[in-house]
A and B are shown apart, each in its own frame.
Chain A
Amino acid sequence: MSEETVDVLIIGAGASGAALAWSLAETRMNVLCLEQGDWVKSDDYPSNATDWELRRLGDFGFSPNDRKLAADYPVNDSESPIAASMFNAVGGSTILFAAHFPRLHPSDFRVRSLDGVATDWPLDYRYLAPWYDLNERMTGVSGLAGDPAYPQDPPKRPPLPPLPLGQLGETLARGFNKLGWHWWPSDSAIISQDYEGRGACINAGTCITGCAQGAKSSSDVTYWPIALRSGVKIKTHARVREITLGANGLADGVIWYDESGREQRQKAHVVVLACNGIGTPRLLLNSKSKDFPDGLANRSGLVGKNLMFHPYAMATGVFDRPLEGYKGAIGCCIMSQEFYETDAKRDFVRGYSFEILRGLGPMFTALMGMGWGSIPWGKDHHGAYAELFDRTAGMVVIGEDLPEECNSITLDPELKDANGIPAPKINYRLGDNSQKLMAHGIARAKEVLEASGAKKVIEEPLLRVAGWHLMGTARMGTDPKTSVVNEWGRCHDVKNLFIIDGSIFPTAGAVNPTNTIQALALHVADAMKKNLATLFD
């Protein structure tokens, strides 16, 4: 049992926890982070061996239900067409993320005002822009200024040049140009040149099983080393069960389990939740008391509600020549936002992005070909394999999902983790607008691939594995009746409890959320520092 009361206790050492810890370090407050996973060392990563692809099916897979590592907790996703994907370690899900690092658009913060759906954010793009700038410098974003899909005032200037497009990227760029559609080199959290003591990307193509090179800017190699040098502490293998309340109605700490399963307590003056859009509502819902019988900070009844994923569809073009698609950052190549904004001529509101992926490695070519029915067993196997290997280009549609209260995280009545803590259950269905939007996107993706020279296009209308982006389950707003946290991440109901992960997104936009999650965490940390004297008023 810990006797020490820390000033700030952060739960979760992923993208947002790292950014906030770094920002608070300068205050010299006593900051502690509890993380249920461990550090992942460079030698641990699959890319150090030739069978690296095989480990995508095992201990470096996306789903905690498949990995079943000690750091993982199970997620009941049987009532959802999209499975939860996350990683539990210092760095969190940035360990496995593809490292797309775009910003939201200005319109994403004004969805209600512009399109009459969902809700507006309590802050806007112009306000968040400096925090994006800071986060992109800290992260080491590779990209290119001048993208007409984003405002030039204030300008977006990635600190490093873009990653290589490669033969595959340039092939698809020509396809976009043939159609007259927007494309731009991806903003990537992967350093294209040596940066801040880290070595540049070597185009190994293994990003989604982690980066042994350290070129991918997972938060264990960006914010955490600096935060630790500045005095912040991390306890790993520390799984929090619940947040406890003091007699004054404020959070006074947490109960957690150490690696051996022993119950521990940690007292704190401020508690910050950074556990992702599933882990955060799980913890709040599991923190019940007389004052909060439906879960901590849940007087609005919205904790766990309004879960948003980004639904993903995928189109794969098969070309008649090699594309060297196994080289280069696997997810970061080109982004197109031709269909990002609402167009009244379409039968849906909001929009989507296209992201061009690289090709597949040797093993996943075989497994995907098997799934598509393109690579048979038997005498025709080798010929069919040769038609696919290094001749495919993937293209995903990442759609904006609107918040709906029926899409939710609850506590599973039976499933529990290794410490006996109730597991989260996802109840989710794809809304009507999302279905129309994704159908539009997959049809346009096929056009791009055909314009790029694909002789065949394989369409997958909804990727089950793609539950990477977990948002909306403790949303921010100014009204305590319709939101869980205020505009700087403080819970309306518990004045010393903050939430900084994707849970607080009121809407999802149609881009990968990590840059926005971290920019918000920096904003929240700044607000905490500015309001230290009146933090609990």
Chain B
Amino acid sequence: MSDVHQFSTHERDTLAAVLDQVIPPSADGRLPGAGFLAHGARFDAVIRLLPGLDLGLAGGIAACDEHARRRGVTDYRALSDADRLAVLNEVAAADPGFVPSLMFLAYSTYYVEDRVIAALDLEPRPPHPQGYAMAANDLTLLEPVRARSKLWRDA
């Protein structure tokens, strides 16, 4: 689709700062913040999935900058971490669709990244062709079911 909003470098940088508020780095440092997603190829794919997602995000990013300027700084990224959170909450209150859009973007792309998968103690590999080993069934669990009389109706 050619009609998707083309995000400028500034917009992507701002979005990265916002996404780091949505999914911040974990306290133990194992999981990264979601900001890196703003510059990834999957971002460009995901914004095409929902109609209006691109413009909703672009509008929210612009609003974050605008709210930042009201606080006397040049743009959102110039804010302290605490003020970034406060501004994001202000923008979310004024535009109820912005945070759900951010969450969709972050949640759908963050948890398919190899570094995130590895940090969840999973192998960062495709499910196919290796698959997963599973234990044999314990069919003794069926003994009480086998002992029951028929459940089906005569017809």
Contacts and interface: CB of A to CB of B under 8 A. Distances in A.
B153 A341 contact: yes
Nearest to B123: A50
Given A212-B128, A363-B111, A378-B24, A182 B151 contact: yes
A148 B24 CA distance: 52
B65 to A, nearest CB: 20
Given A54-B112, A57-B49, A203-B132, A150 B127 contact: no
B128 A213 contact: yes
B114 A50 contact: yes
Interface stretch (A14-22, A102-110, A498-506): A102-110
Interface string A144-183: 1010111100000000001011110010011011001011
A105 B152 contact: yes
Nearest to B122: A362
Contacts of A205: 127, 132
Given A180-B144, A184-B145, A327-B134, A124 B127 contact: no
B104 A370 contact: yes
B76 to A, nearest CB: 16
A362 B116 contact: yes
A414 interface: no
Contacts of B96: none
Give the interface residue-count category, chain B: 35 or more
Classify the interface of chain A: helix, strand, loop or mixed: loop
A144 B139 contact: yes
Nearest to B154: A106
Nearest to A149: B151
A149 B45 contact: no
B109 A47 contact: no
Interface in A403-429: none
A47 B128 contact: yes
B134 A177 contact: no
B55 interface: no
B145 A47 contact: no
A338 interface: yes
B97 interface: no
B108 A363 contact: yes
Contact of A177 (B125, B130, B141, B150): B141
A338 B152 CA distance: 10
B132 A338 contact: no
Given A337-B151, A370-B107, A173 B141 contact: yes
Contacts of B134: 164, 166, 203, 324, 327-328
Contact of B22 (A106, A180, A377): A377
B103 A370 contact: yes
A389 B120 contact: yes
A58 interface: yes
B141 A174 contact: yes
Contacts of B104: 367, 370
B146 A146 contact: yes
A489 interface: no
B21 A378 contact: yes
Given A48-B128, A50-B125, A162 B137 contact: yes
Interface in A53-98: 53-54, 57-58
B22 A177 contact: no
A365 B112 CA distance: 11
B108 A54 contact: yes
Contacts of B26: 382
Contacts of A338: 151
Contacts of B62: none
Contacts of A257: none
B130 A148 contact: no
Contacts of B139: 144
B102 interface: yes
B130 A202 contact: yes
Contact of B132 (A162, A182, A204, A381): A204
A45 interface: yes
A341 B114 contact: no
Contact of B148 (A49, A148, A342): A148
B132 A202 contact: yes
A365 B107 CA distance: 9
B99 interface: yes
Interface string A21-47: 000000000000000000000000101
Contact of A166 (B130, B135, B154): B135
A348 interface: no
B131 interface: yes
A458 interface: no
A182 B145 contact: yes
Given A184-B145, A365-B111, A54 B46 contact: yes
B152 A106 contact: yes
A50 B117 contact: yes
A53 B151 CA distance: 38
A204 B128 contact: yes
A206 B127 contact: yes
Interface of B: 21-24, 26-27, 31, 42, 45-46, 49, 85, 99, 102-104, 106-112, 114, 116-117, 120, 122, 124-139, 141-142, 144-146, 148-155
29 contacts: A47-B127, A48-B126, A50-B124, A50-B126, A54-B109, A57-B46, A105-B153, A148-B149, A148-B151, A148-B152, A149-B151, A149-B152, A151-B152, A164-B134, A177-B145, A202-B128, A202-B129, A203-B131, A212-B128, A337-B151, A362-B122, A363-B111, A367-B104, A377-B99, A377-B106, A378-B22, A379-B24, A381-B23, A381-B24
* 7 nearest CB pairs, A to B: A202-B131, A204-B127, A366-B107, A51-B112, A164-B134, A106-B155, A327-B132
Given A47-B126, A54-B112, A327-B134, 4 more contacts: A105-B153, A164-B136, A377-B102, A381-B23
